[in-house]
Amino acid sequence: MPDRYLRFTQSGPGRFVTRRLGLPQPAPLHRWSAERPVLDGPLLHLTASRSTVEPAAVLARAGLPVHTSRQAGARYAAVVVDATGAGDVAALREVYDGLHPVLRSLTDDARLVVLGSAPDPTDHHQAAAQQALEGFVRSLGKEVGRGRTAHLLRLAPASAGAAESTLRFLLSPRSAYVSGQVIGVAAADDVPVPGDWDRPLDGRTALVTGAARGIGAAVAETLARYGARLVCLDVPQAEADARAVAERLGGQALTLDITAPDAGERIAAALPDGLDVLVHNAGITRDRRLANMAADRWDSVLDVNLASVLRTTDHLLAAGTLRRGTGRVIATASIAGIAGNTGQTNYAASKAGIIGLVRSLAPRAAEEYGVTVNAVAPGFIETRMTAAVPLFIREAGRRMNSLGQGGLPVDVAETIAWLASPASGGVNGQVVRVCGQSLLGA
């Protein structure tokens, strides 16, 4: 269903009325397209304190002209402040001094990225300064408006190369609906550099569950655009839609019940040459308040959304189906699993369980199998399901985020594609919210 309020605020009367009444004034977002693949303007690279990562070479390849000092009259599409060496409160003033003068010189849809380090448990001054950057960035994302976003990227020493894929994503239109996130990137050995950054999944095989429609279909389409060979998995009841998606993308359809005990074995048998990207997108809702929730509603949601993810991931890792080095597991959580939601104790439990899975399995999967494990946590995404939500609840879902609007399936898909890239090997154990920086659970 179209967002008529967003359209209204772009008209003269709409701007006048919403300004006078103090109502949200969301801006249309610059999402990736072949016609506008990059942001409109230069990137300003600043350093606060000292750098432990030296990102200049990576930023020079990000696709934007780079300035290292403010230039009169310039309007910046991105600002990157390197605060990786910030170890005390005085260094925070340098972050302020760098960003404060340029905030009025940003283009619409500008990207603000602060580079930080992990808080050091042995140095409470450094830990305080680095944790302070998180509160700073989350607040900044809620202030800047006009489709602009802000992030904190925590880098390990000498990890600029491993962060290139992440910086390219955050500094591009592909991350339009991702804001206020804290993302860690570890130093990673032998991170492959794609021959073509527009097609980093060339030669890779990706399987997407729940691929017949909605977000799953958008994920499949985006991964195919990135060069992946697609396997579109869905239940037998959706076979016609799954086959239509697969045929359109030059992939194959695989129909099975993901909750079946032998689902992992059947997936492995269908992929004798191995799998690079496993996207757990399939999910259901069976909403009721707990007092009115029948046991079958609880069981079905937990089985589809969580137990099947655990079973199939365990099997595909143990069977060696996921390729060492390029293997990527990306699961779908939800902001409901972070903030909770009335009438969704079953759904929120299943999605919080996904977060627990990622945090526990990621380090072991990397060490034992050479595979990364991450999750996306969507907020209000414009789908057929949310179009059926009552009007006032739907409007609240759209407006209660820093960008003042709902996201699109492609926003989730672009985030998954970044995590799926072979060049994202330093990103592991992360839960990235695709919610426009929701004001709930932030």
- Tens digit of pLDDT per residue, the chain (442 long)? 788 889 989 999 988 888 988 888 899 999 999 999 999 999 999 999 889 999 999 999 999 999 999 999 999 999 999 999 999 999 999 999 999 999 999 999 999 999 999 999 999 999 999 999 999 999 999 999 999 999 999 999 878 899 999 999 999 999 999 999 999 999 877 788 899 999 999 999 999 999 999 999 999 999 999 999 999 999 999 999 999 999 999 999 999 999 999 999 999 999 999 999 999 999 999 999 999 999 999 999 999 999 999 999 999 999 999 999 999 999 999 999 999 999 999 999 999 999 999 999 999 999 999 999 999 999 999 988 787 778 788 888 899 999 999 999 999 999 999 999 999 999 999 999 999 999 866 5
Query: Residue 441's pLDDT is what?
Result: 65
How far apart are alpha carbons 295 and 168 in whole angstroms?
A: 45
Cβ-contact 53, 115 below 8 angstroms: yes
How far apart are alpha carbons 40 and 30 in whole angstroms?
A: 10
How far apart are alpha carbons 18 and 16 in whole angstroms?
A: 6
> What fold is seen in the domain 24-185?
Rossmann fold (3.40.50)
Q: What are the residue numbers of the active site?
A: 347
Please tell me the total number of residues recorded for the chain in this structure: 442
How far apart are alpha carbons 162 and 155 in whole angstroms?
A: 9
Domain spans in the chain, listed from the N-terminal domain onward: 24-185, 205-434
Element (H, E) at 231: strand 229-234
How far apart are alpha carbons 212 and 242 in whole angstroms?
A: 4
Of 3.40.50.720, 3.40.980.10, 3.10.150.10, 3.40.50.620, the CATH number of 205-434 is 3.40.50.720
Q: Which two tokens stand for residue 167?
A: 């910086």
Query: Residue 189's pLDDT is what?
Result: 73
Same fold, 24-185 and 205-434: yes
Query: Residue 442's pLDDT is what?
Result: 58
Q: Which two tokens stand for residue 432?
A: 């990235």
How far apart are alpha carbons 352 and 332 in whole angstroms?
A: 10
Place of tokens 């030669």: 203
Going from the C-alpha of 331 to that of each of 140, 144, 216, 442, the distances in angstroms are 28, 30, 12, 20
Sorted by sequence, the CB contacts under 8 Å of residue 204 that are 6+ apart come out as 227, 228, 229, 276, 277, 326, 420, 422
Q: Nearest to residue 398, comparing CAs of 425, 379, 415?
A: 379
Query: Residue 129's pLDDT is what?
Result: 98
SS3 per residue for 246-297: HHHHCCEEEECCCCCCCHHHHHHHHCCCCECEEEECCCCCCCCCHHHCCHHH
Cβ-contact 329, 280 below 8 angstroms: yes
Sign of CA dihedral 406, 410, 414, 419: positive
Query: Residue 392's pLDDT is what?
Result: 80
Sorted by sequence, the CB contacts under 8 Å of residue 342 that are 6+ apart come out as 289
Query: Does the reported pTM lie above 0.95?
Result: yes
Phi, psi of 428 (to 5 degrees): -150, 140
Q: Which amino acid is at 362?
A: A
- The conformation of residue 237, written as its DSSP 8-state character, comes to G
